[in-house]
Each structure stands twice: as structure tokens, then as C-alpha cells.
Chain A
């Protein structure tokens, strides 16, 4: 079937869906599961934010980046340094981390654009190899190998403990950034990104200027990574150079692929994957932990190239068709009223 399905579930279905999500994220996760899992799920939200950044730059920008840990590190250290050395309120550091990583992404994106495909992957890989070393080298600033003790922000509310509180902070930020990404990936900007990604000749003919678009995409994706880093520093309460190694870059990328490289909703699935699966696998056998990433990456690329997010999207579309929840018929009627006709015009 080639028809574009525009699912339009009835209001009741949408309300029920929203209610289920609300109960899950606002009640079940923070209040009904064991406490140690709450902060792990806060970490999942943080990974999801970083993965949405990869969705933007790789899924829609078409550029493979293996350097996202560098921007996560920038966000984390911005927060850590401002809190530890300058006594800032941790929440006030989030916008600073966002701004700095946006700027860094813009500056790096500029030359990075000239690196196509594999070269960009290599360049960003080198970036994430360099970052831990740099952090150790400038130890006056970063605390070197010892890292910096940020401390966990205390819950200002009586009925939430610290991990529940930071979970809600992460949830709020993740929700905002999810809707920002959804807006970026709708309408004319999404089309322009697809054009620039899929056909350079047509992009040029249609007046799409690829260079600034790609730079802006890279910068925006770095902003996501930076915010993720800032929140990560608060969850863990501690930053150290080796957290932000190549493995983090790789796992974020694998998470993006497993969740669906063009699916920002799938980011949460990818984030769950990288948070839980390697740990479970290591429990079975230590060497399995690392292997799981490679296997997941290959299996996804071979049997499910659009990832779990893409699969769920397709099933959802199909269900909507079966239930008659689409809006195509409605549009067809509107169109007949608005359209004039060349054919009927006197020659």
C-alpha cells in the first residue's frame, strides 16, 4: 500500500492513550517501582534526550556521528564546574550547558560538514577518543582523573525523595525537548532535511542550501547531547573523564538505531536498551555485555532497519486503518471545493 496513512484516532482513544502514558510516567515509574530503579529510569530519560539528538543529525541530517559523548561531556562538565567552582544553582546550569554545546556543535559542524559519510564518522570518533584525555589534561578546571563532586540536588518537596525529584526534572526536560524535536521534524523543515539528505542535485535545484542546514542540525543535535550531559551530572552527582568515553558514543548510536534512527518516539526504547540490556547480559556472562551491542546493531540493521520505533509506527498505522481511524476521505472532499481547474479554463 502506497497511501500515506494519517491516523486520526477518535478523541476517546487519544484521551485513553494519554492517560495510560500519564499514569505510567507520573505514577508507576516514580512511585510504584523499587526506588533504585527510579534513578535508572531518570538515566533512561537522559539517554533518550541524547538519542533524539542522534535522530536529528543521523536520521534526518544523514550524517553518521560517533562523537556524541563529547557533547554529553561538555554539558556535564559545564554543570559540574558551575556548581562546584562557582556555586551555581544546578538547574540554572541547564540552559548554559545547552547554549555552550549548541555553540560547540555549530563550530564543529562547520568543518564536519565537509567530511562526508565515513570521514565524518571517523572524525567524530576521534573527537570522542580525545575528550577523556583532554578532560584529564586540564585538571585545574575539571578535577582531572578524580573528577568533580557535583552532589545530587535535594528534593525541595517533602513527599518526593531525591531520586524521585530528579526523575521529575528529567521527565519535564525530556518532554519539552521531545516536543521541540517533533516540531522541527514536521512541515517544511522536515521536507528540506529529507531533500538535503536523499538527493543533493534535487536539493540544489529546489534552492535548499545544504551547508547551513547541516550546520544547524549538527548544532541542535549537540544541544540535545549537552542537556543530557547536564542532567546526567545531577543524577549521578559526580563527573569523571572516563564516563564520556568512546563506548558512550557507540552505545548512544546503537540505541538510536535500535529505537529507530528516524523515530524520536523510539528514542525511549533505544535508551531502555542501552541502560538495561548490557547489564542483564553481563549478569549472564561478563563478555556478553559488550557483545550485545554489536549483535543488536547488526540484527536491527538487517531485519528491522527502521528500528523498534519504526515497527511500532507501522503497526499503529495498520491498526488505525483496520479500525477506520484515518482522515484521507475527509480531505478528498475538502479538496474538491477549493480547487479550480485549468482544463475548464477557456483557451
Chain B
């Protein structure tokens, strides 16, 4: 069977800054793939390439055997690719629950006629409210469900984004620094949550994280970027032992 995600020779240029230079790697079904690298290495750009937010200048991206390199960004989530954003993309004027329900947009497919005529007449899919509540509860967010997202602590927001990604029923989950803003105890807890949701929903995970201990613990496979280049790709233990990786991290004083 082919890999679930297959990235080949991907390049992204930002008028001179080469954010990604010929990146190739595979993510196998069911695995947790860690993506690390110093600041500015291109990790978020790679996420944006996969979710089609940034145009890819060269190379190809295949998901489940299908070439998605030229798909518009808004078609990606329906394929089963969900992601969270590094600096959080929640809406401060909506409640936590409404923010989570946004993740089900592509399932509910709201429109004017459906909204006006209502469920019975237009055959609308109902909001998965119960599912949202259950997810929030499972992620320890039951208490803030009816709060506005604005003003909650950063770590809480990252979890809300995780819930929003999960309600989209993904097969492939991309997390951009999910442990950012968490305390040490919370980081371990988050690692358990990630392992559990992978198992429960049969997910494949691509995760960017600066928390090395956590990442090495949960990843089956780690890819290392530096200045837009892939410098290592292998099992956590191999990558940890790699001299180039050590140099990259020492060099950037991370």
C-alpha cells in the first residue's frame, strides 16, 4: 500500500526567500510523524503547502494516492485533512462550541436556502452539537464551552483548535506546535491525548513541535528541516543521534 501522504521535491519561494527547497518525504498510514527544525526552517510553510494555502512552485503532493498539488485550499478538509494553526485561528466573537462546530462546516454545508427553509424542508444535515459537546468534554474543555474564545489562555485555545480539527472527521491530522503555551504537566497530558485520539479515530498525524521530549516520545518517525532543506528523516533514536541535527540546533542556539 502507498503512503498516506507523499511529498515530492516540493519548493516554495517567497520572492527570494526559499522557504522550502526540494522537500520529499512520506507519511505512512497510522503513524505519527514528527516534523522539527529551528525557527524559520519551513515547517509551517510545509503545512501550508499540504493544506494548499501556499502555492507550490515545484514538486507534487499526493494524499491517499491522489495528486492534490493543484487543488484549492477549501477542498482539502473534505478529503480528510485537518490542521491546527501555529498562532491559532479561532474567532474571539464566537463561543468555544461554535468555534468547534466550524470544523464540521464541510459536513453541514450551510447555504441560504437551507438556512431559510430549515431542516425539514431542505433536508439539512443538523449541526453535530452533541458531538461538539462530547469532544470538548473529552479534551477537558467542558467548562469553557459557552465562553467566548477571546481571552482564554493560549494553551486552552490550542486544545479548542484540536477539537475543531477532530470534528471534521479527519484521516490525517496536522498539528502546528500544539504544546505551545502549555505547562510541563500539560504537555505530557497532551501527548497522551494525541496518542489516544490517534487510536480512537484511526488517525495519521503530522506534528510540528519544539518540545523535543514529547515529540520523540510519541513519534514513529521524525523529519528534520533546516533553512528549507530536509537534513534528516528516520526513527526518533536515529534522528537524535544524527550529527547534522545536533549541529542545526546548536547552531541556532535553540
Contact = CB atoms under 8 A, between A and B. Distances in A.
Contacts of B108: 188
Contact of A2 (B134, B142, B145, B151): B151
B72 to A, nearest CB: 8
Contacts of B78: 207
Interface stretch (B26-34, B99-107, B223-231): B99-107
A345 B200 contact: yes
B244 interface: no
Given A188-B101, A220-B112, A202 B148 contact: no
B91 A205 contact: no
Interface centre among A198, A199, A209, A342 (most CB of B within 10 A): A342
A269 B98 CA distance: 29
Query: Mostly helix, strand, loop or mixed at chain A's interface?
Result: helix
A230 to B, nearest CB: 19
A57 interface: no
Contacts of B148: 2-4
Contacts of A207: 74-78, 105-106
Contact of A194 (B94, B138, B142): B94
Given A188-B101, A189-B111, A345-B200, A4 B146 contact: yes
B101 A3 contact: no
Query: Mostly helix, strand, loop or mixed at chain B's interface?
Result: helix
A187 B101 CA distance: 9
B237 interface: no
Contact of B193 (A199, A210, A220, A342): A342
A338 B130 contact: yes
Nearest to B51: A205
B95 interface: yes
Interface in A322-340: 328, 331-332, 335-336, 338-340
Contacts of B250: none
Contacts of A345: 196, 200
A347 interface: yes
A195 B92 CA distance: 11
Nearest to A220: B112
A191 interface: yes
B110 A338 contact: no
A188 B51 contact: no
B127 A6 contact: no
Contact of A205 (B73, B140, B195): B73
Q: How large is the interface on A (under 10, 10 to 19, 20 to 34, 35 or more residues)?
A: 35 or more
B85 A188 contact: no
A140 B53 CA distance: 52
Contacts of B151: 2
A345 B197 CA distance: 11
Interface stretch (A178-186, A295-303, A311-319): A178-186
Given A202-B85, A204-B73, A184 B116 contact: yes
B85 A205 contact: yes
B246 interface: no
Nearest to B130: A338
Interface centre among B78, B148, B150 (most CB of A within 10 A): B148
Contacts of A194: 91, 93-94
A191 B105 contact: yes
Contacts of B146: 3-4, 6, 328, 331
A157 interface: no
Interface string B36-71: 000000000000000111000000000000000000
B57 to A, nearest CB: 19
Given A188-B105, A191-B102, A340 B115 contact: no
Given A335-B133, A336-B137, A339-B137, 4 more contacts: A204-B52, A206-B102, A206-B103, A332-B142
Interface of A: 2-4, 6, 180, 183-184, 186-189, 191-192, 194-195, 198-199, 201-210, 216, 220, 328, 331-332, 335-336, 338-343, 345, 347
